Amino acid sequence: MPRILIAEDDDSMRSFLARALERAGYEVESASDGIEAAAAISERGFDLLIADIVMPGLDGVELARRACLERPELRVMFITGFAAVALQARETAPKESRILSKPFHLRELVEQVRDILAA
């Protein structure tokens, strides 16, 4: 079963995403910020990192860069509510990463996750 780590600083969004992905059949762990997520990645293996781009401490792009250096097989999806941030992230994010802009439908999230993990 694919393992997913969600790094999202908004408690309700993090819980909402985790429940949706668990219902879709994935094993999900979550972190409330980039620092907590980086520690989880170092300690445990994941197939996919879903990270909010804008987070306190360690933002999603830097988290993904560090995580992919440590675990090159890790796939990455960013979520953000800021279009300008999404455009900037495309320039500095790991090359195979995807960006999903908020608001999005849970069906779209699950489809994107399925596509990323199948690639």
Residue 18 lies in a domain: yes
- Give pLDDT, residue 90: 58
Q: Which residue has the higher pLDDT, 101 or 19?
A: 19
Over residues 67-96, the pLDDT tens digits come to 999 999 999 999 987 654 545 555 666 777
Residue 51 lies in a domain: yes
pTM higher than the cut 0.95: no
Residue 119 lies in a domain: no
Residue 66 lies in a domain: yes
Q: Say how many domains are in the chain.
A: 1
Over residues 27-79, the pLDDT tens digits come to 999 999 999 999 999 999 899 999 999 898 899 999 999 999 999 999 999 99
Instruction: Report how far residue 19's alpha carbon sits from residue 15's, in angstroms, rounded to the nearest whole number.
Output: 6
Strand partners, 50: 6, 77
Residue 70 lies in a domain: yes
Instruction: Report how far residue 119's alpha carbon sits from residue 117's, in angstroms, rounded to the nearest whole number.
Output: 6
Categorise residue 35: left if φ over 0, alpha if ψ from -120 to 50, beta otherwise.
alpha
* Start-end of H helices in 7-105: 11-23, 34-43, 60-70, 83-92
